[in-house]
Amino acid sequence: MYDLEITQRILDANLDRAREGLRVIEEWCRFGLNQSHTAELCKNYRQELARWHRPEFRTARNTDGDVGTSLSHPQETRRDNIQSVLRANFCRIQEALRVLEEYGKLLDENLSQTMKQLRYQIYQLESNLLAHPRQQKLAQAYLYLITSPCPNLFTVVESALQSGLNLVQYRDKEQTDNYRYEIAEKLCALCHEYNALFIVNDRVDIALAVNADGVHLGQQDMPLPIARKLLGHQRLIGCSTTNPDELERAISGGADYVGVGPIYATPTKAGKPPAGWDYVAHVARTWQKPWFAIGGIDLDNCATVLQAGVKRIAVVRAIMTAEHPGLITQKFLEQLQPKS
């Protein structure tokens, strides 16, 4: 027979510990990141924990008799930076939730299962907040420019970057490797000058050679798992998808983002039929990472695309062939700006 009062005391201490850790994370999301949605998520988690914090748990509390209050470790007395503060408190929350899950089994199966599910949600929150800077930048990108060959390539791209664009892909299927390497190197430097991500289409070797932020793969390109081995986990890998099977392969392969389309018929993908709005809805339900609708999107139909549940778009001709690419970029970004 287990000791009911001791179990209640353990649950009380760890409910407090998890809520305290969540409050630390919430304050950074609120004041440091200005992310109202993430701060609200932390608040909801705290309220869920409070719902399980029963009066009998508090009654069992014995602070004066708790030998743990005098225990400490040198690493607990100093934090080197914000990242270390966040990591320490995520560990605090996750450890507390594991204790709640295990000891909850003695008292209430529903409490135990709730803590288990909450622990998985905290893992995801930690991944989102403490992701590599490239993943963090990707999460903030809503407009994706994919280049096409043109005489004034650098002028067009820089105009878009000056207008707030933060994600560019270099795409050129026709030129020699030497030419593509030289252009990619210059574009990469230009994008990084404006603190934007630079992605190379198809070519993992060129992406590595110019220190790009990642590569975008089509269905006929190098298999994603092989590309991941070569690029590592700090660089981004995107995949083109047109149907649920291709999306599933991107999920299982660990893609960082996917392209979804073509939304409309486009000469960039000549002869390829539109993916269909049903597939767009499927991606919105299934894919948890960033995804970009692509294919024939311009300022005239952008609102229609967004009404279908799309939040991010990729464009080629709408900017690359525009008379004033910087102005067009601004107009796209105004439509895509997430509502706080």
Q: What is the 3-state secondary structure (H, E, C) of 114-128?
A: HHHHHHHHHHHHHHH
- Report the alpha-carbon distance of residue 68 to residue 76 in Å, rounded: 14
- Check residue 164 and give left, alpha or beta (phi > 0: left; psi -120 to 50: alpha): left
pLDDT at 292: 97
pLDDT at 268: 65
- Report the alpha-carbon distance of residue 253 to residue 223 in Å, rounded: 9
Contact call for residues 294 and 313 (beta carbons, < 8 A) = yes
* Domain ranges (residues) in the chain: 4-130, 134-336
Amino acid at 307: Q
Q: Is 269 part of the annotated catalytic residue set? A: yes
Task: Indicate the burial class of 230 (C-beta count within 10 angstroms; 0-12, 13-18, 19 or more).
Answer: middle
Catalytic residue among 17, 119, 269, 312: 269
pLDDT at 299: 96
pLDDT, one tens digit per residue, over 234-280 is 899 999 999 999 999 999 898 999 999 999 877 666 667 788 899 99
CA distances, 15 to each of 20, 101, 151, 206 (Å) = 9, 11, 62, 51
What architecture is domain 134-336?
A: Alpha-Beta Barrel (3.20)
pLDDT at 13: 95
pLDDT at 67: 62
Question: In terms of residues, how long is the chain?
Answer: 340
Contact call for residues 58 and 12 (beta carbons, < 8 A) = yes
- Which are the contacts of 171, defined by CB distance < 8 A and separation ≥ 6? 146, 147, 148, 201, 202, 216, 316
pLDDT at 62: 78
Catalytic residue among 19, 92, 171, 312: 171
Q: Which two tokens stand for residue 153?
A: 């390539």
In which residue ranges of the chain is pLDDT below 70?
Answer: 1-2, 64-77, 267-271, 339-340
pLDDT at 107: 93
Does the pTM of the predicted model rise above 0.75? no
pLDDT at 235: 93
The H-or-E segment that residue 227 falls in is helix 224-231
Cα angle vertex 117, ends 52, 131, to 5°?
Answer: 120
